[in-house]
Amino acid sequence: MHLRKTVLLVGGLALLQATLACPALADDTSVAATAVNALGVDLLACVAKPNENALLSPYSIQSALAMTYAGAAGETKAEMAKVLHYPDDEAALHRSFAAFRKKLEEIHGRTTREVKDSANEGGPSEPVTLEIANRLYGQSGYAFRPAFLSLVKDNYGAPFQPVDFLHAAESACREINRWVSERTHERINNLMPYGGLDRKTRLVLVNAIYFKAAWMEEFPGSSTNKEPFFVGGTQVEKVQTMQHESHRFGYMRGDGFCALTIRYVGSDVQLLVLLPDKIDGLAALETQLSPKLLAKCADSDPAFLILHLPKFKLEPPMILLGSVLQSLGLRKAFDLPNGSADFDQMAPRKPNDYLALSEVFHKTFLALDEQGTEAAAATSVVTLASFGIETGPRPNPIEVRVDHPFLFAIQHRASGACLFLGRVVDPR
């Protein structure tokens, strides 16, 4: 059986150095947000060992897979919907992702206006940079369905660019990697590995997201010192730890953990930290992680905190998500069993010429310091043709020491969607 190889490459990057704010849209973003967080929770437990740092971008991964889903049909489509937490109404799903993308894209302009006033008063001077780009690289002359190309372009802003995988796969690979690197400000390089594309490749779908934002209130550099951190929940090591006292932090108590939030410029995006009460309580906390909990934490009440937070930088190696998704039940899309993949809505399916997923590559980067956060992610799906300010007396502050393994997310406050999700076991 001859399969054509189609690659749907989705690259996503985010650079964070500021908090954001978004207006409401007519279309509901909750469908996309729920799918993003639900799959993120599913994947976090699988992408790294419990005693290792982990980082992924649920938004990047879901954006890639949602575009792939637009081309699926029959039982393959039904299976994808179940595993990826999609609703029965496919049109609502794509509208929701489109609305969410629009909200994110509007942040830069709004925060540009806001920082003009805050800078005069000694506040942040740089607006949020949030860039999202999608593109389809398809084999020239291949019979892609116009309806699929239109749907992806209209809802995900992905133009179609013809290339020649048949005769120049490596050249096309270099072009895609160059585009991803450019769109992610060179934070994600060589997303598509050597040999990831070949003459069987028919389509590469790329998503790139770049996000850079500063804290609403920077951590004073003079307050950063080496403080103890229980690496792995056991071994004490001294790590660079920031300290800040503020009434702008969000805070809530849960069952065996606390959740705190730190807003970036504009207040639409925040860092969420989930800290177990017990030094070795990370595994138990992860069992409680759910889309409902993430949504609840998105709107934590403000509190007066003295916060000790370690600086950290995460740049894990490329993650191959294909086997992970298969373990979650996504099998027909990968042509398991042989002959079961159905992407007829992407291109006509023939008995000896049809598309199937081959691999999903994911790459991330995140660095957090006194000024803000910088993060990046990229995902490639390979398809085979086979807060307010309180007034009055100040309450006594709550001191929170993030000195043992914790979970974190870069979260869009209005929807609760996680652009990034991960764990820190060792911040060094």
CATH of the domain at 401: 2.30.39.10
Is there a single domain that holds both residue 161 and residue 276?
no
Q: How far apart are CA 393 and CA 12, in angstroms?
A: 45
Write the burial class of residue 180 (CB in 10 Å: 0-12 exposed, 13-18 middle, 19+ buried).
Answer: buried
How many domains does the chain divide into? 2
Q: H-helix or E-strand containing 292?
A: helix 291-297
Mean pLDDT of the chain: 87
pLDDT at 59: 94
Confidence of residue 212 (pLDDT cuts 50, 70, 90): confident
Q: How far apart are CA 276 and CA 253, in angstroms?
A: 10
Q: How far apart are CA 260 and CA 249, in angstroms?
A: 7
Whether residue 153 is contained in a domain is answered as yes
pLDDT at 12: 39
Is there a single domain that holds both residue 76 and residue 53?
yes
Whether residue 1 is contained in a domain is answered as no
Confidence of residue 353 (pLDDT cuts 50, 70, 90): confident
pLDDT at 194: 84
pLDDT at 21: 30
**pLDDT for residue 41 is more than 60:** yes
pLDDT in tens, 259-315: 999 999 988 899 999 999 999 999 999 999 999 999 999 988 999 999 999 999 999
Is there a single domain that holds both residue 209 and residue 293?
no
Whether residue 157 is contained in a domain is answered as yes
Confidence of residue 10 (pLDDT cuts 50, 70, 90): very low
pLDDT at 120: 63
Is there a single domain that holds both residue 241 and residue 113?
no
What is the arithmetic mean of pLDDT over 173-188? 91
Q: Is the Cβ–Cβ distance between 53 and 146 less than 8 Å?
A: no
Is there a single domain that holds both residue 63 and residue 149?
yes
Is there a single domain that holds both residue 355 and residue 394?
no
Q: What percent of the chain is modeled with pLDDT above 70?
A: 88
Q: Which amino acid is at 135?
A: R
pLDDT at 250: 95
Confidence of residue 113 (pLDDT cuts 50, 70, 90): confident
pLDDT at 382: 67
pLDDT at 119: 60
Confidence of residue 35 (pLDDT cuts 50, 70, 90): very high
Confidence of residue 112 (pLDDT cuts 50, 70, 90): confident
Is there a single domain that holds both residue 67 and residue 133?
yes
Q: Is the Cβ–Cβ distance between 172 and 180 less than 8 Å?
A: no
Structural domain containing residue 16 = 6-214+314-384
CATH of the domain at 117: 3.30.497.10
Whether residue 290 is contained in a domain is answered as yes
What is the arithmetic mean of pLDDT over 24-46? 86
Taking residue 421's Cβ as centre, other Cβ atoms within 10 Å add up to 28
The pTM score is 0.90
Q: Is the Cβ–Cβ distance between 319 and 359 less than 8 Å?
A: no
What is the arithmetic mean of pLDDT over 63-68? 93
Q: How far apart are CA 315 and CA 81, in angstroms?
A: 30
What is the arithmetic mean of pLDDT over 160-189? 92
Is there a single domain that holds both residue 141 and residue 281?
no
Is there a single domain that holds both residue 402 and residue 358?
no
pLDDT at 206: 81
pLDDT at 54: 96
**pLDDT for residue 11 is more than 50:** no
Whether residue 67 is contained in a domain is answered as yes
Is there a single domain that holds both residue 226 and residue 240?
yes
